């Protein structure tokens, strides 16, 4: 059984190791995969985006453990969400919002992780990754029935997904929702909203070049491209769009047809 970890714990501390140690103690056969541990500290939205961008690539039955958890130790609930194909173990703080956005509440089951039998003997108030989420994932991987972890609950905390705004028949406003390792700006625009001919306005800079692959553009040229997460991206061949356009997450992107 694959257990995939997504946290903001970084890789220079003992946090991730402690989770893996706990998992392997309880379920020696678990196959642990790191999604990333380099989420900006406490950035729930960023974790929600990255999880959504890759969870479909994993085998059915994968248990995703998502620990970006500024509310650890407070009243926020630890939950298990079971969908048709996957399990998600996480704090109830909205981090699953993008993954579950296209589902209705009938499509999945939510369990509050309340059964102390499946948690660490002594649960700290600062590290539920080790004391709650890792043990639950390990027991799930061992075949424990989801309903035994606690009571079913009806709703999850949601974070708002940035929406597009139609300004006129010819103008649409989107925004940058993620900036990747290469400095590509991932927007919330998809093919569905865009005609064959469009250009972008970012901070007054016009971007009219649209490419199908990166090497199509000249070195240093700014262009748009449909990226691998399904969204329109703004890129620079052999360069960083983030640096050249001085952009951050939330940057408005105006589309003109």
106 binds its own copies (CB under 8 A): no
Total count of residues recorded for the chain: 257
Q: Which of 66, 118, 130, 200 binds its own copies (CB under 8 A)?
A: 130
In the beta sheet, which residues pair with residue 187?
176
Distances (CA, A) of 25 to 18, 89, 135, 138: 10, 18, 9, 9
**Residue of 109, 229, 252, 256 interacting with its own copies (CB under 8 A):** 229
Burial class (CB in 10 A: 0-12, 13-18, 19+), 257: middle
- Binding track, positions 148-187, relative to its own copies; x by CB under 8 A: --------------------------------xxx-----
Determine whether 1 is exposed, middle or buried from the number of CB atoms within 10 Å of its CB (0-12, 13-18, 19+): middle
Output the smallest distance, CB 119 to its own copies, in A.
14
- State which of residues 3, 32, 232, 234 lies at the interface with its own copies (CB under 8 A): 32
Q: Does 218 bind its own copies (CB under 8 A)?
A: no
Coil/strand/helix, residue 61: coil
Nearest residue (CB) to its own copies, 163 versus 181: 181
Under the criterion CB under 8 A, does residue 38 sit at the interface with its own copies?
A: yes
How far does Cα 94 stand from its chain's mean position?
10
**Binding flag, residue 220, its own copies (CB under 8 A):** no
Rounded-to-integer distance, Cα 255 and Cα 173, Å:
6
Interface with its own copies, residue 215, by CB under 8 A: yes
Beta strand pairing status for 199-202 and 252-256? antiparallel
Stretch of 54-62, 111-119, 145-153, 241-249 lying at the interface with its own copies (CB under 8 A): 54-62
Contact positions vs its own copies (CB under 8 A): 2, 4, 9-22, 24-25, 28, 31-39, 41-42, 50, 53-59, 62, 70-74, 76, 124-127, 130, 180-182, 212-216, 225-229, 237-238
């Amino acid at each position: 059984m694959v257990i995939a970890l997504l946290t903001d714990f970084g890789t220079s501390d003992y946090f991730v190791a402690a989770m893996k140690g706990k998992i392997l103690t309880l379920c020696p056969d678990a196959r642990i995969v790191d999604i990333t541990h380099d989420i900006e500290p406490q950035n729930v939205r960023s974790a929600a985006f990255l999880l959504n961008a890759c969870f479909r690539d994993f085998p059915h039955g994968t248990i995703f453990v998502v620990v970006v958890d500024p509310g650890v130790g407070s009243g926020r609930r630890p939950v298990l969400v079971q969908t048709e194909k996957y399990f998600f173990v996480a704090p109830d703080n909205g981090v699953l919002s993008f993954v579950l956005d296209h589902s209705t509440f009938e499509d999945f089951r939510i369990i509050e992780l309340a059964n102390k039998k499946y948690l660490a003997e002594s649960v700290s108030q600062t590290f539920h990754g080790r004391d709650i989420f890792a043990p639950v994932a390990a027991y799930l991987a061992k075949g424990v029935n989801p309903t035994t972890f606690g009571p079913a609950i009806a709703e999850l905390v949601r974070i708002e997904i940035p929406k597009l705004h139609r300004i006129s028949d010819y103008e649409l406003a989107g925004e940058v929702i993620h900036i990747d390792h290469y400095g590509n700006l991932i927007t919330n625009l998809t093919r569905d909203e865009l005609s064959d001919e469009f250009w972008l306005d970012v901070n007054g800079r016009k971007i009219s070049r649209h490419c199908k692959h990166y090497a199509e553009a000249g070195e240093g040229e700014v262009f748009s491209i449909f990226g691998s997460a399904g969204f329109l991206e703004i890129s620079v061949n052999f360069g960083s769009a983030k640096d050249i356009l001085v952009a951050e997450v939330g940057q408005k992107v105006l589309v003109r047809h």
